[in-house]
Structure formats: structure tokens, C-alpha cells
Amino acid sequence: MSAENAIRGEPVRPLVPVYDAVIFCDLHGEPNWVYEQAVFVEQLCRRAGIPYYTLETGLYGDFTRNFGNARVSSIPFWTLTDDGKKGRMPRQCTYDYKIKAIERFVRYELLGYRPRERTIAADRQFHRMHMGIMWEERHRAKESTQVLFTNRFPLVEMGWTRPDCYAYNRDVWGLDTKANCCLFCPYHTNYFYKHIREHEPECFSCALQIDELVEAKQAHPPLKSKLFLSKSRKRLRELTPEECQDAQTFLYHKERIWNGF
């Protein structure tokens, strides 16, 4: 939308400005379609004259190296105790590997601060961070805890859902999009793992590695619960075809579209 406004030279989408920077955090553990979409956006930003940056944040590598040996960022794994009590871990990964990474990049690379330099008054909550949270995820649209930023959520303000966003990308840009998501995000449906096992086997191997890692090793500090990627609280290798019939879809011009989760 920002590129559309820039290319047309008018505010076609008035709640979306022409950005000073578009930033993609590469966690090194996402489906291939995420990287294809990122390339599309990068090329579109170049055409529109909008600076585009990729930050190598590497959650996948950090987690596989450190889980069981040191404290790691909390991923919202599904939990199960020996007596059958179910729960879920808190989600800290988005904050640690996206929001904080962007804040550091803006502070040191774009604004030119030196390490440990005090934030000047003119920069405090002066800069706006726009995030692509959609209407159905509006519970995630929260105030910023960062010194530099105030948060804005244009899609929430516009009332746009995932089907709205899909239709826009497809109708205006010809882009067939799916969810931007980690391979090992526990919010996935079981169908997601079935899909990548059949269509992106190298991606399924990454997800399987995480699932087997949390099975084989104990978290640091230790937990009383077992951790799972699947909402069924089963290992990915144990999911049955019947359990993988939970694909989330919506209609686009009478065509049934899978959302990527």
C-alpha cells in the first residue's frame, strides 16, 4: 500500500504513509513462500523508491544451538504435564527477534546512536512503527514499550481481515500470498505440517528438528511440562491424516484459499 501511494503520487491508502524504511526480519526458519513474498516486496519498494532492509535475526539457529543448554527466547509451545494438565508457553520470540531487532537497527544504523548513548528528547516516542497485524489479530495491537517508537496498526484501523489483504495483494499486484510465519510456530494447524511435508520437505525437516529437540532435551531452566509444536500435543511424526484436516481457508471469488497457517 505504501508503494502504491508512492508510485501513484497520491494517498490512495490514506492511513498508510510512504515509509522511510521497510524492514523484514529473517529468522532463518520460514516457508519458502515467505522469502518469495519478501523478494516481491523488496523489488516493489525499489520501484517506489522506498528503502528496504533485511535483518538477519536467526531465531532458528539460536534456538537449535542453545535449547537445553542456556536460556532461550520463549516460543509459545503447547504444554502437557504427566497428569494431563494442558497449557501454553508465553510468546516472547516476536518481541526478541523482530521488535527489539528493528529498534536496535533504527537506533544504531538509521539514527546513528552510539552504544549506550542516551536517547535525546526529540526522539522519544517520535518514530512510528507500523505493523501488519490484521483485524482478527487486533488483540496483539498493543502500545510500544520501546523508547523510540509509538505503534500503529493500519490494517486494524481499516478493519481489514486476512481475506481482505489477500484480495488486495492478488487484485492489485497479482501476488498469491500466504501467512508470514515461522516453520516452528505452534499456532500452526496440523494441516500446515502435512502441507510442508508434502510440498516443502526441507522446511518440514526444520520443523521436525525443533519438535524432536524439545522432546529430547529439557528446557533451561527446567520445566515440569512436555513441549509440543502441534496443538494436538503430539509429535509431528505421530500426527494422523485425520488430525491434519484442520486447514483454515476463506473464499476469494468462489475459490477456496488456504491462509498458510
172: confidence class by pLDDT, cuts 50, 70, 90: very high
Are 124 and 144 in contact by the 8 Å Cβ rule? The answer is no
- Taking each helix axis from N to C end, the angle separating 201-216 and 190-199, rounded to the nearest 10 degrees, works out to 130
Provide the 10 A C-beta neighbour count for residue 146: 21
* Cα–chain center distance at 80: 25
**Could you report the per-residue pLDDT of 18-62, keeping only the tens digit for each?**
999 999 999 999 999 999 999 999 999 999 999 999 999 999 999
169: confidence class by pLDDT, cuts 50, 70, 90: very high
In b/e form, how buried is each residue of 236-261, taking b as 16+ CB within 10 angstroms?
beebeeebbeebeeeeeeeeebebbb
**pLDDT computed for residue 220 by the predictor:** 84
The backbone torsions φ and ψ at residue 152, rounded to the nearest 5 degrees and listed phi first, read -135, 150
**pLDDT computed for residue 146 by the predictor:** 87
Are 155 and 135 in contact by the 8 Å Cβ rule? The answer is yes
Task: Give mean pLDDT, residues 161-169.
Answer: 96
